[in-house]
Amino acid sequence: MELRHLGSTGIDVSPLGLGTVKIGRNEQVKYPQGFEIPDDQAVRQLFELARELGINFIDTAPAYGSSEERLGQLLPNRNDWVIMTKVGEIFENGESHFDFSAAHTRRSVENSLSKLKRDHVDIVLVHSDGNDMDIINNRGALEELQRLKQEGLIRAYGMSTKTVEGGSWIVEHTDVVMATYNLETDVELPVIERARELNKGVVIKKGLQSGHAASVEDAFRLVLTQPGVSSMIVGTINADHLRSNVDACNRVINNMA
């Protein structure tokens, strides 16, 4: 799997990234079926398979339960992976809470570094609650991420946005945007197009509609052939699903050549 540039960050990522919410949390998730959180051996095997298949990019977040901690414990050759985590959302007692203050942002990144057992994180995104412009204008998280980048604790930053206005601002002023784009909705396509013009990183979430996409290959084709898209995050804890996703991704990419 040939790596793609994540905009102008200097970071190269696999076009398919591995989402890890399912290794850390099975409450209040939007997948078609319930699931059990896998044990350590199964997680290690999943990571090893992902690497064998050419994936180098992992998405996590403090809101994904024990995901960050398990990555720090179980990820083989963890410094060889590109890791993207988030700030702003806290999941406790079955509910999400949000804090976009500068102080919480710094504590969150420091906690992530400790759990991931790293001296820096490649990418940190603000985990939006939907009020993108309020977060951007009033909350302090993005300014703190910029300071953390200057201090060398993170390499790139941005936001997982939920509005076109917020996404457009993010691609104008930060390094990376995480946007929704799938067979059901292309509302955020202008964000992706503007990011391409500015050579900013674009990571796609919900590309398979949280497991509800009618055709996985059609979904990959839509997303990965869109100019400007660096990677698409897909979460799975099933080895067969992972192989199938990589095969579909490779078929799409090979047909682009």
Look up 64 and say whether it is catalytic: yes
**Residues 124, 154: Cα–Cα separation, whole Å:** 7
Long-range contacts of 130-134 (CB under 8 A, 24+ apart): 130/162, 130/163, 132/159, 132/161, 132/162, 132/163, 132/165, 132/166, 132/167, 132/169, 132/170, 133/163, 133/165, 133/166, 133/169
**Residues 195, 191: Cα–Cα separation, whole Å:** 6
Q: For 47, which DSSP code?
A: H
**Residues 115, 108: Cα–Cα separation, whole Å:** 11
Exactly one of 31, 64, 157, 181 is catalytic; name it. Answer: 64
Please name the helix (run of DSSP H) or strand (run of DSSP E) that holds residue 4, with its range, or none.
strand 4-5
Helices and strands per DSSP (H, E), number in the chain: 9, 12
Catalytic residues: 64
